[in-house]
Chain A
């Protein structure tokens, strides 16, 4: 059993309520933090090496240190609970089962940043979690952990939960801020970064739920202790939301640095492939990151064991590696149709593109349409090349990373599974007549493709 930080108390019955949470040592970090110097808390978080758990992996302490304290404007902490990426559902689990941990983290982090007004921006689809959080905040207010003069320290903090309209783009920090201000959720052009001009032009820090929920442990123990967990620059623990063809899908907290093999096959975590079918592909960090083909799942391109860390999963770039992303661990066995899957992701990104900048607005729709044709046996030979070219033209040319998120899965699918695309184009009859949810294992028909190609 690895060290648990976030899920340590999650199995205690009634931990959702304030009384049980408090009895089990809840809000101790706030008590300790209120006696500390706020800058020391930031230093502790810096020492811990905690990296943003929303996907980008930017060091949290460093982000906090960028906040403009000299301007004299009010500062804000915004918790990004707009979790909408296909395959990622870890934050929901945390908020649903142990809401007070997030609130405790919010108070501690807000104190460190000197913020007197903080927000939790939650996606609209998580209505029941929204209600859970509202109830928990009410309890925290009643117990004096929020409001004016918290526990006699002289520090004031108001915390609100804001229910978003249910748009994936509002998970991007600047679009989230726009949405929170009551506007259309279009990303802003950076710079200025939110740490300088964010919510209502005030200095703002936007952090993921998991990042904020890790702060109480760091404050209670120490940054150094946190840095001891994990491996290298990937410190601490990380939540992974596992879905797909495994025996035990779910949300797991692991210490960073265990091997992908151990995570996938040990009974403690995923428990191996369902029905013991062969593994075909793996997306380690949510739908926006590149898929890994079978030969690159357990070993990196250098032949080393692939580990559950930021560095090992990225493996020196996107050509051979992927990314840890937000921890949406999606597993495919040999019955999965990569083309259909890529089309499905592309459909999502097309639907969720905000439409502000041209490459993403027009390109995501174009990719979806080409993939739809290929998937339905109407593709032509040049379609794969056009698709490749379109994704390359979106990547890096957009305002926010949604364009990249739409392009990477397509690029990786073509790079690693090009023969499946060719199969769809060469044998449209087979594609039309198959059961749409179970694809014919490619191994069975590979010889047909080879014959035609050679």
Chain B
């Protein structure tokens, strides 16, 4: 069946969702997804970041759909026409969702451990407002210890339910879930420090924001100071294919390999993730490519850079001359030395 997204026609199999079809096209037409995770079943529909306008239902029923549709849960019909970036309504809705998500999520990217690889940071950068209209007090939670591997920072959680689905489908034992309702809803464990399943580390990878982070990596480094390498080892619990985040010769963190939509390619076990931090444990395949405009890329000087020209005025230069004299310390001695 055929579907047209922003004027680009594509042939897809029945049962494909609009988001999957958009991802087949790639590029700008792909709506952002905060809660949908293609590797997990039954995800999507919660965050509403991927809302799109369906301007033509199908060939059989060409009426436009009155409401904005979540592209991750809307199945493609033959002849459907979808507007993603060409629809004002869709862009407005996305802006609205970004604003709602940022209401109770503190914008503490400078100190958050997820900075640089946070989906909400990217969403906010593309669709957010430069200042908030929310004047009220933000919702806060008491810190909770959910286990020795994963740090839960509930204040940053956007209730995407991804970690709950991971626990159910990947770990097979769910000791945590969502408590309470409305904006009091929170991720919490049934018994404190109970998350200890051997695949539980994947919750860190699926979390789109900094709510679940790696206790062994926290505050060791910023991601853009690390260099990622693809590596593998023989593992009887998982595929053993990982990304090593290196600082010089030191492995600071191990994660699963992620694709262009920041979704892991294959889930890895906790042993690979947390217990093998020696270079000799791994077969390093080579440096990992990452997005051109990623924050991680900012520390990469291998690209040819344009020459930076600084527009300076005479007065500024004059001032600097004086400053230089002060800094040189030859002509202008320190005050305390003068006194002594």
Contact = CB atoms under 8 A, between A and B. Distances in A.
Interface of A: 167, 169, 184, 189, 191, 350-359, 361-366, 369-370, 386, 389, 393, 396-399
Given A350-B182, A359-B97, A397-B97, 7 more contacts: A189-B70, A358-B48, A359-B48, A361-B159, A361-B185, A393-B92, A393-B96
Contacts of B335: none
B180 interface: yes
Contact of B96 (A169, A356, A359, A365): A359
B136 A362 contact: no
A354 to B, nearest CB: 6
B205 interface: no
Contacts of B46: 356-358, 399
B100 A359 contact: yes
Contacts of A353: 181-183
B285 to A, nearest CB: 38
Interface residues of B, number: 35
Interface of B: 45-49, 51, 67-68, 70, 73, 75, 92-93, 96-97, 99-101, 103-104, 133-134, 136, 139, 158-159, 161, 177-178, 180-185
B134 to A, nearest CB: 6
A11 to B, nearest CB: 40
A351 B184 CA distance: 9
A396 B70 CA distance: 11
Contacts of B184: 355
A355 B49 CA distance: 15
Given A366-B134, A397-B68, A399-B45, A355 B100 contact: no
Contacts of A393: 92-93, 96, 99-100
Contacts of A357: 45-48
B106 to A, nearest CB: 14
Given A369-B136, A393-B96, A393-B100, A355 B48 contact: no
A396 B185 CA distance: 22
Contacts of B161: 356
B97 A352 contact: no
B99 A361 contact: no
Contacts of B92: 393
24 contacts: A189-B45, A191-B75, A350-B183, A351-B182, A352-B182, A353-B183, A355-B178, A355-B181, A357-B48, A358-B46, A358-B48, A359-B97, A361-B100, A361-B183, A362-B100, A365-B103, A365-B182, A370-B136, A397-B48, A397-B68, A397-B96, A397-B97, A398-B48, A399-B46
What 8 A-B pairs are tightest by C-beta distance, nearest first?
A355-B185, A393-B96, A353-B182, A362-B100, A365-B183, A369-B136, A189-B45, A362-B103
Contacts of B97: 358-359, 397
A362 B68 contact: no
Contacts of B139: 365
Given A189-B73, A362-B100, A398-B48, A355 B159 contact: yes
B68 A364 contact: no
A397 B45 contact: no
Contacts of B183: 350, 353, 355, 361-362, 364-365
Contact of B182 (A189, A361, A397): A361
Contacts of A354: 181-182, 185
Contacts of B51: 397
Contact of B178 (A184, A189, A364, A365): A184
B251 to A, nearest CB: 36
A362 B133 contact: no
B181 A167 contact: yes
Contacts of A169: 181
A261 B101 CA distance: 45
Contacts of A397: 48, 51, 68, 93, 96-97
A361 B185 CA distance: 9
Contacts of A369: 136
Given A358-B47, A396-B68, A363 B182 contact: no
B333 to A, nearest CB: 55
B182 A358 contact: no
A184 B184 CA distance: 15
A364 B139 CA distance: 13
A396 to B, nearest CB: 5
Contacts of A358: 46-49, 97, 100-101, 158-159
Nearest to A354: B181
A352 B96 contact: no
Contacts of A167: 181
Contacts of A363: 100
Contacts of B68: 396-397
A354 B46 CA distance: 11
Contacts of B134: 366
A300 B75 CA distance: 40
Interface centre among B68, B75, B103 (most CB of A within 10 A): B103
A437 to B, nearest CB: 26
A398 B51 CA distance: 10
Contacts of B178: 184, 355
Nearest to A372: B136
A366 B103 contact: yes
Contacts of B73: 189
Nearest to B34: A358
B180 A355 contact: yes
Given A189-B70, A366-B136, A386-B133, A351 B100 contact: no
Contacts of A356: 46, 159, 161
Contacts of B93: 393, 397
A191 B97 CA distance: 22
Given A362-B103, A366-B134, A355 B182 contact: yes
A189 B104 CA distance: 24
A389 to B, nearest CB: 8
Nearest to A190: B73
Nearest to A188: B45
A359 B70 CA distance: 13
A370 B135 CA distance: 9
A389 B67 CA distance: 18
B158 to A, nearest CB: 7
A439 to B, nearest CB: 24
A370 B134 CA distance: 9
Contact of A396 (B67, B99, B181): B67
A358 B103 CA distance: 10
A96 B159 CA distance: 40
A361 B97 CA distance: 11
Nearest to A350: B182
Interface centre among A352, A355, A370, A398 (most CB of B within 10 A): A355
Interface centre among A169, A358, A361, A386 (most CB of B within 10 A): A358
A396 B68 CA distance: 7
